[in-house]
Amino acid sequence: AQELCGALEQDCVELQRAKEAAEQRTQELQKEGEYLHKHLEQQMSLSRLLPSLPEKKMVFKGQVTDKEDVSTLTLTPQIRSPLLGGSALITFEKPEVARRILELKEHVVELSHGEELDKCRVRVWAEPVELLLPSALEISLSRSCRRILVSGLPSLGIPEEMLLDKLELFFSKTKNGGGEVESLEFLDDAGQVVLSFVQEGVAEQLIARGHIQFPIRKTKYELKISPYLSGDITSLQLQLSRCARTVRLSGIPDVLDEELMRDALEIHFQKSSRGGGEVDALSYVPEGRQAVAVFGEDVG
């Protein structure tokens, strides 16, 4: 009876731990979903998605796609996931190797090959890497009546503030087709400027022209004028996706130098005798530190 009670108590403890782990994972997934939604909203300026179109005249000689496919938008995911201290991410070249490592769960890694091997081993645990990825996205587009997108800016090595001042001075003159400028700002990593006018109608006239000659340092540069489009997310659906080739290793003690620990883990998990295989990439974060893992289009 005592053994039965002890077994029941142990089962209750394990169930409580499993419940707490499930609740914690649910909270983490909720936070990841909120972060992903916010990150996508920040990136939804359509001027970032629709940069300046090429000026070359082209003739299309091919089949027309179905109407249903005309307005589709392909997203390339870039998911950021926290990587806590005492853990590592290991990506194998083949998915079947990752599956074997996950099935074994617990792994004993030898840190050296000395005589006292018991003192030179650590136990680590293999866990799947699950990410929230967008599966469906709906965007409502709107065209600003007072903003334009200016592209084709010259690279003259002058400060951005100086270039913005010259643009504001140029576009504020009615003889150049402009008007009173309300604001200017560079788009991040796009080499383009969003320019807002106080009055309506000015932007439309410039967009109709399409191009404008912009003089600076005794040279005229041709700038392209495009409509400024912005988008708001109206619907975002997420799905939980497990990485096929990437495994998270947890429970790694801080007993070796970071580089030596990374080498020891890679040596262990590339051995076929231990269920491993060829390692494509490995990232290790020691205890007491944290990092952010970035997953691209091939999320492993």
Question: Residues 82-108: what's their mean pLDDT?
Answer: 94
Give the tens place of pLDDT for each residue, 226-264.
Answer: 999 888 888 888 888 899 999 999 999 999 899 999 999
∠ CA 141-192-138, nearest 5°, is: 20
- Is residue 144 within 8 A of residue 230, CB to CB? The reply is yes
Question: Residues 201-210: what's their mean pLDDT?
Answer: 94
Give the tens place of pLDDT for each residue, 253-292.
Answer: 999 899 999 999 999 999 999 999 999 999 999 999 989 8
The pLDDT of residue 69 is above 60: no
- Is residue 164 within 8 A of residue 184, CB to CB? The reply is yes
Question: Residues 60-82: what's their mean pLDDT?
Answer: 63
CA dihedral (97, 82, 282, 93) positive or negative: positive
Tokens 């340092």: give the residue.
Answer: 217
- Strand locations in the chain, DSSP E? 79-84, 87-92, 106-110, 121-151, 181-186, 193-197, 211-216, 219-250, 279-285, 290-295
pLDDT value of position 1 = 62
Average pLDDT of the residues of the chain? 82
Taking the C-alpha atoms of residue 19 and residue 49, their distance in angstroms, rounded to an integer, is 42
What confidence tier does 52 reach under pLDDT thresholds 50, 70, 90? very low
- Is residue 193 within 8 A of residue 184, CB to CB? The reply is yes
